[in-house]
Amino acid sequence: MATKVTAKNIYKIFGDDTDPAFELLKNGRSKAEILAETSHTVGVNDASFDVAEGEIFVVMGLSGSGKSTLVRMINGLIAPTRGEILIDGTDVASCPAETLRQVRREKVAMVFQHFALFPHKTVVDNVAYGLKVKGMAVAERREKALAALAQVGLDTYADSYPDELSGGMQQRVGLARGLAAEPEILLMDEPFSALDPLIRRDMQEELLVLQRTLKKTIIFITHDLNEALILGDKIAIMKDGRFVQVGTAQEIVGSPADDYVAAFTQDIDRSRVFSVDSIAMDPAPIELGSDTIGDALARMEDLGRDALFATENGSVTGIATYRALAAASRRNKNEDIRTVLRRDFETIAADAELHALYEKSTTGLPVGVVDAEGTLVGVVEPQAIFAQLVRGESEAAAAADKRVTPA
């Protein structure tokens, strides 16, 4: 997958004479120490990352961590003190002003936290405003604005005014305004943080649904780890201007880089972070037409399992338990395994979240893991589900014992 945005060793120090502060930073002095000694503020400290085309890259951090400064450097609103920011190979940190304007017009749109809608303009005129600034003709910009509103389900409100819409609807108007310009990259700076929790979750789901169709490159800023875990293909956690950890949701929750990250993740519902394939084992299935009851029993004993799935041409046809195989083997080890198969088995998609396994595992039997074609690719033992969740509780307890408080 092609890389759309690259940051290389980005620094931002606010102040008139940044060289002394930069030297202190390079020598390991903290953000607080540099502020005390130089009256300069470190906004971003040596950030490097790549964002793939079509990826949602979430930057997560508490207030003052540098995440909003970072996103404003990506579209050139703030110039970095040092480093490169490449959008399709163009360094927006050092390119001529006209080149930067062209990148903004053709490639990048921003969605803000507080909607930034003009109260005296209709919804469609708000959405079309950026197109008007570009000099687009009235009829064309209205057409594009209506198409963008249709994408977020608000085309019927085109001639309404912002104060006639709910907060969630107003934020969808802000998103439509960003989409109307047909950008390749969306920069979203805490766009849902001003919304009520239920509306916020609805907006998160709507963004994911849109993304499945639009496949934009999105850099999303948030202070909420749950939001980051829901949305992010990749997540960067910031503290004091630097990246503490970059990874997938499973990597961050499963292997936190330090106590700071562990403290953030200790209350996360792991069953909604980890997918089924993270705990699946080799299915080692019985093959119909070739394996006998004796073969199946021997394999089960070698693997130390109490049940195995039976397949035919890769598809699951049943499940055999150790008890049934052992009883049948006393009659005839060469008997066809079809005589002992149970048909009340459960299967699940490999990319499903762990919580989807709860009801399926109540039988005590393994759950088959299948791919999009229905082929058996793994198996989950009920105890593996709870082992993953218990591991999370143990890690949370360890983090709490160290009394780490995010700051």
pLDDT beyond 80 at 202: yes
Nearest CA-CA partner of 111 in 13, 28, 189, 11:
189
Band of residue 85 on the pLDDT scale cut at 50, 70, 90: very high
pLDDT beyond 70 at 391: no
Q: What is the mean pLDDT of residues 175-192?
A: 92
pLDDT beyond 50 at 403: no
Q: What is the mean pLDDT of residues 121-148?
A: 92
Task: State phi, psi for 240 to the nearest 5 degrees.
Answer: 50, 35
Q: What is the mean pLDDT of residues 250-273?
A: 88
- Domain locations along the chain: 277-386
Task: Report d(CA 157, CA 216) in Å as an integer.
Answer: 25
Per-residue pLDDT at 387? 81
Cα distances (Å, whole numbers) of residue 333 to 201, 242, 307, 318, 324 = 56, 64, 17, 19, 12
CATH superfamily of 277-386: CBS-domain (3.10.580.10)
Q: What is the mean pLDDT of residues 240-249?
A: 94
pLDDT beyond 60 at 398: no
Q: Is the distance from CB of 309 to CB of 368 less than 8 angstroms? A: yes
Per-residue pLDDT at 194? 81
Q: Is the distance from CB of 321 to CB of 342 less than 8 angstroms? A: yes
Torsion of CA 75, 89, 49, 103, to 10 degrees: 10
CB burial readout 236-272, b (16+ within 10 A) else e:
bbbbbbbbbbbbebeebbbebeeebbbbbbbebebbb
The whole-model pTM stands at: 0.84
Per-residue pLDDT at 407? 36
Per-residue pLDDT at 400? 47
Cα distances (Å, whole numbers) of residue 293 to 300, 304, 332, 345 = 10, 16, 8, 19
Task: Report d(CA 31, CA 24) in Å as an integer.
Answer: 9
Band of residue 270 on the pLDDT scale cut at 50, 70, 90: confident
Count Cβ atoms within 10 A of the Cβ of residue 128 and give its class: 0-12 exposed, 13-18 middle, 19 or more buried.
buried
Task: State phi, psi for 146 to the nearest 5 degrees.
Answer: -65, -40
Strand duo 315-321 + 307-312: pairing: antiparallel
CA-based torsion, 121, 125, 128, 131: positive or negative: negative
pLDDT in tens, 334-372: 888 888 999 999 999 999 999 999 999 988 899 999 998
Cα distances (Å, whole numbers) of residue 97 to 73, 92, 93, 298 = 14, 9, 10, 73
Q: Which residue has the higher pLDDT, 189 or 405?
A: 189
pLDDT beyond 80 at 396: no
